[in-house]
Amino acid sequence: MPINELKLAKELIRKPSITPKDAGAINVLAKNLKSLGFKCQLINFKNIKNLYAKLGKSSPNFCYAGHTDVVPPGNISDWSVNPFKPTVKNNKLIGRGANDMKASIACFVAAVSRFKVKNRKFKGSISLLITGDEEGLAVNGTKKVVEYLRRKKEKINFCIVGEPTNPNKLGEMIKIGRRGSITGRLTVIGSQGHVAYPKRANNPTDTMIQILKKIKEIKLDKGTKNFQASNLEITKINIDNHADNVIPGSAHAVFNVRFNNKHSSNSLKKKLNVIFKSISKKAKCKFNINYQVSGEAFLSKPNKTTYMVQNTIRKITKIKPKLSTTGGTSDARFIRKIAPCLEFGLVGKTMHKVDESVPLSDLKKLSNIYLNILENYFK
């Protein structure tokens, strides 16, 4: 009996798996996969549950990757339904994770269940790499599972990451790469003093303002053939000062750079550190900078499977999907180290929002797309 995508999506949404809590979501998925004959491995790192499930043993291995963790729902009273009691209204499934990305996982599992009925002895294997740590720090999720699979010499020949890639309509966009992301936490240290006697102090806010103005004005690049221009955004400015007549001793700021493949995190660190050092030295201030790199820019060069997926989507949706690198980071940044991959899933308009939802028609269509991809891949 084939698995129904709507039923499974509802089962998954009922589990309030807010990062890092699993809340039973992985077990729900594993139970359904075992019913299809998958061998399920729970690969846990610290407090994170991960799943690698595989049907078959031979090559090639076609993998689907995704995450069962979701972001917090915010104020539940703002929702028209309980976010963890999935509800169908106006032909839409509403619930936290409906869009990003429990429904996509359900569509793939439903597609596999239908594929098995027609192709009992297909040559190859199908696997799912599912994590509970994508929306958080992504330290104990796909990154470590990839390292584990590499140690076990597990071969993945191609991977689809089921993130919601489409801006407005199902079929518009496939992601074949992502920009890199680096966050900088900057502290400028001056010396405290009375506001009436500024010459007896060294106000770090003056230096911080100069630095932030300078890094914001940098034109990193104009973009490339495959990537939009890199951009730097200042996200926080903080001066921990509880008195209005005191010049503070330190000032703090946080910024993030989304960068294309013209740069690396190391080249950006060097470029920014020169600015921090130069301006701080002139102002006779000190500075501290801590960087967190979420991922480097990457591009998965399209191959025959990429174009097969593109053509399959076009046949079903009547839209030719654009091959794109826009958006934030995803777990594809880890998977691409062991396998060629692309991203394709639902429409992302409501992800992370109140009343996150997916049209029922898109659920059926995505399940059909995934089924056709499997049939074409193992033809």
Confidence at residue 1, expressed as pLDDT on a 0 to 100 scale: 76
78-116 confidence digits (pLDDT tens): 999 999 999 999 999 999 999 999 999 999 999 999 999
- Model confidence over 45-85: pLDDT tens digits? 999 999 999 999 999 999 999 999 999 999 999 999 999 99
108 & 146 share domain = yes
CATH code of 117's domain: 3.40.630.10
Same domain, 141 and 238: no
List, in sequence order, every residue forming a beta bridge with 358; answer none if it has no partner: 93
pLDDT, mean over the chain:
97
Final residue in a domain of this structure, among 273, 295, 317 = 295
pLDDT band at 44 (very low <50, low <70, confident <90, very high): very high
**Using one digit for the tens of pLDDT, what is the confidence trace for 330-347?**
999 999 999 999 999 999
Do 155 and 24 reside in the same domain of the chain? yes
Mean pLDDT of 219-235: 96
As annotated, the active-site residues are 69, 134
Clarify whether residues 290 and 312 are in a common domain. no
* Enclosing domain of residue 146: 5-178+297-377
- Closest listed residue to residue 366, CA positions, set 88, 169, 229, 167: 169
At residue 43, does pLDDT exceed 90? Answer: yes
pLDDT tens readout for residues 283-304: 999 999 999 999 999 999 999 9
Contact 280, 243 (CB under 8 A): no
Same domain, 88 and 19: yes
Average of per-residue pLDDT across 18-44: 97
Report d(CA 73, CA 146) in Å as an integer: 29
What is the structure's pLDDT at 81? 97
Banded pLDDT at 19 (limits 50, 70, 90): very high
Q: What is the mean pLDDT of residues 257-271?
A: 97
Q: In the chain, how many domains are there?
A: 2
Mean pLDDT of 239-255: 96
Percent of the chain with pLDDT over 70: 100
Residues 24 and 160 in one domain: yes
Same domain, 70 and 144: yes
Query: Which residues, in sequence order, are CB contacts of 17 under 8 Å at separation 6+?
Result: 23, 24, 25, 68, 69, 70, 97, 132
> What's the CA gap between 10 and 93, in Å, rounded?
8
**Residue 190 sits in the same domain as residue 132:** no
Identify whether residues 26 and 157 lie together within a single domain. Answer: yes
Phi-psi region of 242 (alpha: psi -120 to 50; beta: other; left: phi over 0): alpha
Note the pLDDT of residue 130: 98
CATH number at residue 251: 3.30.70.360
Shared-domain flag, residues 222 and 322? no
User: For residue 58, what pLDDT is reported?
Assistant: 95
Sign for the pseudo-dihedral over CA of 279, 281, 285, 286? positive
Domain boundary among 277, 295, 313: 295
Last residue of a domain, one of 295, 322, 339: 295
The mean pLDDT value for 189-215 works out to 98
Q: Is the domain of 117 the same as that of 34? A: yes
Instruction: Judge contact between 159 and 341, C-beta under 8 A.
Output: yes
Task: Give me the percent of the chain exceeding a pLDDT of 90.
Answer: 97
Q: Are residues 309 and 285 located together in one domain of the fold?
A: no
* Residue of higher predicted confidence among 121 and 59: 59
